[in-house]
Structure 1
């Protein structure tokens, strides 16, 4: 990996503290979480105690008042530890930002301090059974009533859906079609009418709980609307660059981790009287992957720097999400091949990394949608 100039000594010290904490609180439990299909709440609370939740949220709301590079370090080190199960990209980088940027003072004071300690886990509720990447077609409906709104509808593929204590929900107010009727709401997940359905059985990324959610006459007070009525789609478009960059960061780090363990394996594994690493094909494949990873880190750092300086554009973020998610799949697939038959055995970490990689070309907007968004800027 290149010497990364975007990080200061303070960032590096934070990275070391994250690694130390993960060695004790994360790595020993990854297999357990994979089997149970959910990350323990005790881990979230440990993250809160170690200053790993809401690092770039103002201190007055329980955060650390730092910059997004600290968020990026958490995403990188989580992936480098061999898992993306703890969905920090959702909790830290999405839900907390919606609440901080568009919530009332009451809403911010109610939820952000709890999220910072791990006492409340966040979920973002956008995707629906008939609506994925096309957010303009959200069908969950919010009906105005005295003092607020009543929500009815359903969501699916919701990360942190089972663990969630607080949710940001996209819903349609009124009968207008298209984006102008969409508003955003925040609610506690223990409210009457907020129903958690089944935990979805996924191909990969199994330790990240993903659920179906249902809203049956769920009352949400008027002050729990985020921002202005009808501006929800605009807010989502403003926040998507950070969401997609977060995915790109996880993908790049996960690809690097797969490469690192593959290098270690081929140097130990022997075939035809010599290490697998000594075959020319192995060296050429690894050399090609190393070059791609080098380019990936340089590009990623440029995007992180642009986000911190508030100049990362929507199409640039889409390109980052597209490129790094595709890279992750390519790198992990090539690395699994080097393990031979053992790469397809569950007890080998590379098998899990291979399964986990595939959804990233769908999650946060499919590769096809990313290409469409990029094409609009041409």
Structure 2
């Protein structure tokens, strides 16, 4: 049949596109060795924006306050919380003189969300080097600040780190969340490696305050509740000023969502910022997702008709080999090795979820951060 013949050649093209992304683009990160840098001990301001995070601050803030670093302050931003977040911050401040509190009151909240609160925190910071994380995050070691700050240089003013999620034994959702995080990290770390930084995660990101002011802060996307991390890097990051830090002592770990509903809402909010990315980034990201989606759709369609099945099976095997080679290498680098046995299953589930989110976001836009 002519239609199957056409689909077969499209399938070959799609497989070639997938090979290009995984082997050529993602391979630059997968097969590179982490660059070790000497500690610089530059003064650092760690900035944490919290909205209704009293319990998380009690649990995770000590791991930041007890970092093995000689010169740092912690700027805690209370973003109009309704719980005891401010009281918890004040309790810690009474014990640690390195803490500075920025209290964003309800009357100021109309200014637009987390970005306004973050801006106040950045202005309050006394140091030029800023390191960001979330209230529900903890560093994997006492050397987090040291590792991230060591990658600043005369030219590198943005440092992108890896933010992982806690492992929950026996939870398929948890594995799916961590696979999505691994695949997303594979992309943004790889693109940064080849000189095309397009995003970062606010759970583990550092930049100079002067870089923030040169970009006019978040003004170009202040109307969106999300994007204080990815849109900021997409706007200001380039091959000269942006680098990555992926040593295991530099990771942070966050609490993951525990229900599909909460996770999908979170991903809808994150994905909604992608239409503000630069055109070249949108083209590459769309091409990758479409080729990933079409690969499996076409493979299933061709095999259901047994059309040239030997070649189709060979191409599926080829694709699985380079998929495992790249993602396996990254899973080991980013300490997600337990995902390896389920990689193809997780990929198929994620494709379906991403398609659902895309359709959902066409109908309505999520517009809150807490």
TM-score w.r.t. structure 2 length?
0.28
What TM-score comes out, normalization by structure 1 length? 0.28
